Amino acid sequence: MTDTTSQPATTSNARNLFQKLELDTRLLGMAGAFILLCIGFDLLTDGRFLTPRNIFNLSIQTVSVAIMACGMVFIIVTRNIDLSVGALLATSSAVMAMVQTQILPHALGLGFGHPMTWILAMASGFLVGTLIGAFHGWMVGYLAIPAFIVTLGGFLVWRNVAWYLTSGQTIGPLDSNFLMFGGINGTLGTTWSWVVAVIAAGLALFAQWNARRSKASHGFPVKPVWAEITLSAMILGSIFGFIAILNSYMIPERRLERMFEARGEVMPEGLEVGYGLPISVLILIAVAVVLTIVARKTRLGRYIFATGGNPDAAELSGINTRLLTVKVFALMGFLCALSAVVASARLANHSNDIGTLDELRVIAAAVIGGTALSGGVGTIHGAILGALIMQALQSGMAMVGVDAPFQNIVVGTVLVLAVLIDTVYRKRLGAK
């Protein structure tokens, strides 16, 4: 007689394991898909995809879109959309490039290398991005113009404002201190990368322990000790493994020689130095931590998700949804300017096509990461994972030799499938 109970029992045990670990099965599915994607491209590229060099490049290429995707989560959660993020990035980048190459040298006599040049340039970009974002939010919240129309108009306006600011020219080179935020020109080095890893691991374990203590003090059930230890091991493995990979990517010998020559020194023979954690990736981690805290621990975050869940009920409960819309779009504008810093610093100049199609990549990353277009649901870490999946797809296809048009076809197909899977997943959750 055939045993028909083994398969259901196995499925039930796996489900119980996930429940005890309190892991998001959808997030696990995304992580599994990303791992399979990386393994597949590594096989197709004869082991070139999962090298330390490519992982380093993949990480710095993901940052710009991932930062904006974090802000797009809040936009979509409140049942809005922002189609202007790529154009806003271009405008902020153009402003910062003109400030440090034209305005500061002529108006204040501050040239490249001055400690205030990069600070004032970035401050100007942040101011412009935040004000434009707030203006969009004001039109959406107070004038009741649909966000789709406002930001579609912004997409056309700000892309061409950026062109006029620079007369369509590439502006560069940029200040060396400014370039440190792009990735390859600014890393922490191996020692400080390990220091950051230890600090991050300590904070993660403290947050996990504090959450367990808080649950216990309020009488809520807590995970078994073995589940806590398993999660801790997964967290520590991810942090230290990532840093170990980045530290194993060595600075090319000729580049290292030039770095010593610039300091008037002679490089010791046989010296090898790893790049370590890029400053741009550190910025992304900081943005993710801050916005996660905002989403989970602050009144603003509760208001954002309450408004997205039911706007009418949120307004009746006393939430100023119009002002909230302005705040969310202003935050999106600030994050666009921050992404402009990373993107232009990575390229070492401002180019006319910077940020092109980023609005589609940002929305796709947020949606693939689990942000519901119907509003009220979304996570910051999911958006970052979505951005990583998008970048891995594009980088992998480029390494395999896939044409750019077909790459866009694949990305568009993945976006539609992600929305379909998300819709089916949420319907099943609702049915249960």
- DSSP per-residue codes, 20-83: HHT--HHHHHHHHHHHHHHHHHHHHTTT-TTSHHHHHHHHHHHHHHHHHHHHHHHHHHTT---S
Distance CA 165, CA 175 (A): 19
Q: Is the pLDDT of residue 386 over 70?
A: yes
Q: For 328-371, how does the pLDDT look when each residue is reduced to its tens digit (9 = 90+)?
A: 999 999 999 999 999 999 988 999 889 888 898 899 899 888 88
Q: For 9-62, how does the pLDDT look when each residue is reduced to its tens digit (9 = 90+)?
A: 554 555 555 555 566 677 777 888 888 889 998 998 888 898 999 999 999 999
Place of tokens 């909230």: 324
> Residue 298 burial by CB count (10 A; 0-12/13-18/19+): exposed, middle or buried?
exposed
Q: Which two tokens stand for residue 410?
A: 């694949």
Task: Output the pTM of the full model.
Answer: 0.90
DSSP 135-177: HHHHHHHTS---HHHHHHHHHHHHHHHHHHHHTT--B-PPPHH
Q: Which CATH number fits domain 49-186+279-431: 3.40.50, 1.10.3470, 1.10.510, 1.20.120?
A: 1.10.3470
274 secondary structure, DSSP code? B
For the chain, what are the domain ranges? 49-186+279-431, 203-277
* High-pLDDT (> 70) share of the chain, %: 93
